[in-house]
Amino acid sequence: MKRMLCNPCGNLTSEKGIEIRKQMNVDVESVFGDIKWNQGYRRFRLRGKEKVKVEMGLVSISHNLKKLALAIN
């Protein structure tokens, strides 16, 4: 862990770091796609940064609970 913290730029530009960054884009896109398409969530209903943070948090919790329920069954 200490070795990774000492050289953050080297970690990002290394071969392994590039692969991890590419995969992160794919992982995030699928989550937002699922929230938009399957849950029908397209717009925030509240205004203001703090309220939007809370609303997005609730949407994220519902997404994670859905994933958990599918994993259990």
3 and 37 in a single domain? The answer is yes
Residue (of 42, 44, 41, 40) closest to 52 by Cα position:
44
Per-residue pLDDT at 35: 84
- Tell whether pTM > 0.75: no
47 and 30 in a single domain? The answer is no
Per-residue pLDDT at 26: 62
Per-residue pLDDT at 50: 95
Per-residue pLDDT at 57: 93
24 and 54 in a single domain? The answer is no
Which residues span the domain enclosing 72? 43-73
What are the per-10-residue average pLDDT scores of the chain (73 residues)? Answer: 57 77 70 82 90 92 91 87
33 and 57 in a single domain? The answer is no
Helices (H), 1-73: 2-6, 8-13, 15-37, 49-72
Residue (of 69, 39, 73, 71) closest to 56 by Cα position:
39
Per-residue pLDDT at 23: 72
